[in-house]
Amino acid sequence: MIQRLAFAMGLCLFTLLSLPTLSQKAVNPVIFADVPDLSMIRVGNTYYMSSTTMHMAPGVPIMKSTDLINWKLINYAYDTLADVDAMNLNQGKHTYGRGSWASTIRYHNETFYVSTFAQTTNKTYIYTTKDIEKGPWKRQVFSPSLHDHSLFFDDDGKVYMLYGNGKLFLVELNDDLSGIKTGGINQVAIENASLPALKEGQTGGLGAEGSQLYKKDGKYYLVNISWPPGGMRTVLIHRADKITGPWEGRVALQDKGVAQGGFIDMPDGKWYAYLFQDFGAVGRIPFLVPMDWKDGWPVIGIDGKVPMTLDLPASKGLIPNIVASDEFKRKKKDVALPLVWQWNHNPDNSLWSVTERKGHLRLKTGRIDTSFMLARNTLTQRCFGPQSTGITKVNVVNLKEGDYAGLTAFQRKFGQVGVTVKDGQKYIFMASPSLARTQALDTVVVHESIALNQNNIYFKIDCDFRDKTDIATFYYSLNGKTWTAIGKPLKMEYTLMEHFMGYRFGLFNYATKQTGGFADFDFFRISKK
């Protein structure tokens, strides 16, 4: 009996170990975090991808991968987009919902090119480097801002940008990429690129945009996103024998709202479309969709559908290559801040340090602010799904009257848990903005406030993005072991023009009464819940 039982248990164990699991294959989304407006290339056996982070600094993040699934942040195209009031959060100005938008990454003549555009400055930017991981980058800037353009190098040496929304335009650039070429090609490429997704007589919806232009077997292929009225986000493909057209178009994919991106081929000849899906408060999350070619057209999906599993290696997770914990301990040759960190708008570099107190991030106040959203030097990194947690420990002994310091779940509809000083007394607080969209950025409701009688305090935020639950819960701890919920859970909300970005964890300290205070953050730790 014992022998039979042992044999049966062994057989069960063998069977369980032999069964395939989800972890053995890649799944969609490839990155469960806000990595929108993808542009991708392959150089040899390595893939490179650029994406959008809008008003964050540094900007235009660049990642690399050897399998299309596991990506690592390796650089940014720029440290500062522009030294203007809107990017510096000066004079009450900001550039939420703007900054730099969709980029193009290309490799030509052993040089990497990353281009983008900005409504904030009404300019188009092209960054070039021989070494995409170490730089340096050379920058070309010209006007106007070419919306959702695709940078394209043709076989005859000419360089173009194809851009626009609904009505798409083609312009030829100077050989040195310094601007639009006088006397060069400058024409309407497609009068209404949205037509293939519209029913007869239908108008409106999101016009075709997000252009990515390719050439294969002598033909030109243009990928766009549109959103027809009453429908969903849709992938459109146009093709032409000449770059100047005429172009013929068709719907390439309508499933799960997965759209906007382009094509990538693997060394073994397989093709994928790289796209993204809007997924509530976590943001716009990347998907890979198998692709084939038939009769000179790309065919995207499995029977027109987006598969949730892929015949690619499994993801090893986003930590530490896209998000990461930070103990703020630095050796002499370490960079001050790892690439996972980005500032909300341009920082004031005189008001932060990772060296003034060993093993700590110090955030200092240097001006009076009336609004958290307009305060400088909030340091952020992505939240991620399906669940993620951010924890920090902060020393608040040097806060001054009216200072606010702590941890935030950051978007237009943010939530804060932190410490403030009022009438000489420190208080733990949890706050979020008024629900009224018409209110100013400084309209904030404090949901709970508790007197604090010590100088070290721990804060935690749990984010739940499962099935678009989009709930953030806030906690404090006096000893780092026992946690107490504070305030009220935040129903996170992805706002478009007000912010246009998935939620982020952020460390903050700002003054409302007097300057000169500072907060010392001992660590930031991020994890799957």
Give dist(CA 79, CA 127) in Å, integer: 12
The answer to whether 59 and 73 have CB atoms below 8 angstroms apart is: no
The CATH number corresponding to 25-310 among 3.40.50.1010, 2.120.10.30, 2.115.10.20, 3.40.50.300 equals: 2.115.10.20
For residue 523, CA distances in Å to 100, 187, 319, 361, 425 come to 30, 54, 16, 8, 25
- Three-state DSSP at 374 gives helix
Q: How confident is the model at residue 365 (pLDDT cuts 50, 70, 90)?
A: very high
pLDDT tens for 487-506 read 999 999 999 878 899 999 99
Residue 497: Cβ within 10 Å count: 9
Amino acid at 255: D
318/32 Cα distance (integer angstroms): 8
- Give residue 442's pLDDT: 57
Structure tokens at 24: 């053995």
- String of DSSP letters for 141-188: EESS--TT-EEEE-TTS-EEEEEEESEEEEEEBPTTSSSBPTTS-EEE
**Which has the minimum average pLDDT: 388-392, 399-403, 415-419, 431-435?**
431-435
Whether residue 523 is predicted with pLDDT greater than 60 in this model: the reply is yes
Model pLDDT, residue 496: 84
Q: What is the pairing mode between strands 159-165 and 150-153?
A: antiparallel
Q: How far is CA 170 from CA 160, 250, 368, in A?
A: 7, 20, 47
For the chain, the domains span 25-310, 342-527
Under 8 Å between Cβ of 507 and 393:
no
What is the pLDDT, as a whole number, of residue 404?
98
Comparing 236 with 434, the larger pLDDT belongs to: 236
Task: Check for a shared fold between 25-310 and 342-527.
Answer: no
**pTM given for the model:** 0.93
For residue range 9-28, list pLDDT tens digits in order.
343 433 333 333 445 899 99
pLDDT at 220 over 90: yes
The mean per-residue pLDDT over the stretch 114-133 comes to: 98
Point out which residues pair with 240 in neighbouring strands: 220
What is the pLDDT, as a whole number, of residue 96? 95
C-alpha span between 449 and 283 (Å, rounded): 30
Q: Is the distance from CB of 478 to CB of 454 less than 8 angstroms?
A: yes
What confidence tens digit (pLDDT) does each residue in 156-207 have? Answer: 999 999 999 999 999 999 999 999 999 999 999 999 999 999 988 888 889 9
Interatomic CA distance for residues 92 and 82, integer angstroms: 17
In the numeric block, which tokens belong to residue 368? 């009076």
pLDDT of residue 76: 98
Instruction: Report the distance separating Cα 137 and Cα 116, nearest Å.
Output: 14
Instruction: Report whether 522 contacts 329 (CB < 8 A).
Output: no
Hey, what CATH class is 342-527 in?
mainly beta
Looking at beta carbons, which pairs linking 444-451 to residues 24 or more positions away fall under 8 Å? 444/372, 447/486, 447/487, 447/488, 448/486, 448/487, 448/488, 450/476, 450/486, 451/425, 451/426, 451/427
Q: CB-based burial of residue 351 (10 Å sphere; 0-12 exposed, 13-18 middle, 19+ buried)?
A: middle
Report d(CA 527, CA 127) in Å as an integer. Answer: 34
Average pLDDT over residues 396-406: 98
**What DSSP string describes 414-481?**
-EEEEEEEETTEEEEEEEEE-S-TTS-TT-EEEEEEEEE-SSEEEEEEEEE-GGG--EEEEEEESSSS
3-state secondary structure of 120: coil
DSSP letters of 176-238? TSSSBPTTS-EEEEES-TTGGGSPTT---SEEEEEEEEEEETTEEEEEEEEE-TTS--EEEEE
At 434, is the pLDDT very low, low, confident or very high (cuts 50, 70, 90)?
confident
**pLDDT, average across residues 334-355:** 98
CA angle 342, 343, 346 (to 5 degrees): 130
The residue behind tokens 């992938």 is 235
Q: How far apart are CA 335 and CA 323, in angstroms?
A: 16
